[in-house]
Amino acid sequence: MSIKGLISASQLSRGDIEKYIKVASRFAKRNLPIKAKNDPPIISLFFFEESTRTRVGFIAAAYRLGMEVINVTEAKFHERMGRAESLEDTIRSIQSYCDLICMRHPDPEVFNSLDLILEKPVINCGNGDGEHPTQALIDLYTIYKEFNRLDNLKIAFIGNPRYSRSAHSLIIALSKFKNIEIRTISPKELYFSNEQRKAYLDSGNILEETTEMHAGDMDVIYVTGFPAILPIKTFSQKMQARYWITPEVVKTFKKGAVVLCPLPRIDEIDPAVDGDSMAKYFSESKNGLYMRMAILNKFL
Ligand code: CP
């Protein structure tokens, strides 16, 4: 693929991840707008699926960096919005008005179809159930802040690793680090596919899979959403509830463990857990601002 930007976590080397974390930490410490000189860069947001954190987070990050933002909401990519125009034509036209595109789209293959069209750097803000590499960087930044390391970690993926784009990018990114033990805790049908786990297993790190909620020895509890209806089948409320994080479940986690979640949280984490010192998902969301600043800073 010839697209510039960040489409997949597989593009990130260990050094890249460490650099992103360093730059995000610097932005977090300064906590000040860093104004671009003269003509500020313009970023365009193309979100063909709902988003709160990623869309607003990139807008806020761009403003913090003194950039200008075009939030494309009225493109005629859908019949509902008037006469439909192809995504390719929309992108061809709009990219000449901006310096970088942040895009979310329901099709996991969307970047393959745009490969020869995109001239500006593109940040993949989620492509269907494919990947969410910027979320993986936010997750790793949060883990680094909590543990001061990204090697030698035990990480549980709870709920729905198979259809979580955040989990897909995170397992790929974790393959760049050493002595990682991942345990997926989910129904068997929701274990990572062979393709999703390949890069990680090739790195020599360990993957265990279990249907039982057994995470008492894990450093990081990564909770992925578990919608009732998934492409393979519909899961009962009773089955989903086996993987919910409740105060009783949190009591089984070891001291110093952290609970992360890319959010939105629907019912996978009981709000009664929010006040627990292990609950770090809202800090994770806040860290997203600084990591998104680091990502824009890298490409502009
Ligand atoms: N984590 C995440 O991608 O959240 P949004 O869907 O709100 O952007």
112-138 confidence digits (pLDDT tens): 989 899 999 999 999 999 999 999 999
**Alpha-carbon span 186 to 238, nearest angstrom:** 13
- 14 three-class SS: helix
Q: How would CATH label the architecture of 142-280?
A: 3-Layer(aba) Sandwich (3.40)
Q: Is residue 144 very low, low, confident or very high in pLDDT (cuts 50, 70, 90)?
A: very high
Residue 205 Cβ inside 6 Å of ligand 1? The answer reads no
**DSSP assignment of 167-211, as one string?**
HHHHHHHHTTSSSEEEEEES-GGGSPPHHHHHHHHHTT-EEEEES
pLDDT the model gives residue 86: 85
Closest ligand 1 atom to residue 138 Cα is: 1
Q: Does 205 have pLDDT greater than 70?
A: yes
CA of 2 to the centre of ligand 1 (A): 26
Q: Does 298 have pLDDT greater than 60?
A: yes
SS (HEC) of 250-287: HCCCCCCCEEECCCCCCCCECHHHCCCCCECHHHHHHH
The larger pLDDT score, comparing residue 79 to residue 149, is at 149
Residue nearest atom 7 in ligand 1 by C-alpha distance: 52
Domain 5-132+286-299 and domain 142-280 have a common topology: yes
Pocket test for ligand 1, best of 45, 49, 50, 52 (most atoms within 8 A of CB): 52
- 221 three-class SS: strand
- 10 three-class SS: helix
Residue 264 Cβ inside 6 Å of ligand 1? The answer reads yes
Residue nearest atom 3 in ligand 1 by C-alpha distance: 54
CA of 54 to the centre of ligand 1 (A): 5
pTM of the full structure: 0.95
Mean per-residue pLDDT, 26-31: 85
Q: Highest mean pLDDT range out of 6-20, 31-45, 230-244?
A: 6-20
CA of 37 to the centre of ligand 1 (A): 30
Pocket test for ligand 1, best of 47, 50, 53, 103 (most atoms within 8 A of CB): 53
66-113 confidence digits (pLDDT tens): 999 999 876 666 655 556 788 898 899 889 999 999 999 999 999 998
Residue 263 Cβ inside 6 Å of ligand 1? The answer reads yes
Mean pLDDT value across the chain: 93
- Domain 5-132+286-299 is in which class? alpha beta
pLDDT the model gives residue 75: 64
Q: Does 140 have pLDDT greater than 90?
A: yes
Contact of 102 with 82, CB cutoff 8 Å: no
Mean per-residue pLDDT, 139-168: 97
Q: Does 139 have pLDDT greater than 90?
A: yes
Domain ranges of the chain: 5-132+286-299, 142-280
CA of 125 to the centre of ligand 1 (A): 8
Pocket test for ligand 1, best of 132, 263, 281 (most atoms within 8 A of CB): 263
Contact of 291 with 24, CB cutoff 8 Å: yes
pLDDT the model gives residue 84: 73
257-293 confidence digits (pLDDT tens): 999 999 999 999 999 999 999 999 999 999 999 999 9
CA of 130 to the centre of ligand 1 (A): 14
Closest ligand 1 atom to residue 55 Cα is: 8
**Lowest mean pLDDT, pick from 75-79, 88-92, 165-169, 185-189:** 75-79
pLDDT the model gives residue 228: 73
Residue 135 Cβ inside 6 Å of ligand 1? The answer reads yes
Q: Does 18 have pLDDT greater than 60?
A: yes
- The candidate with the shortest Cα–Cα distance to 155, out of 14, 12, 268, 257, is 257
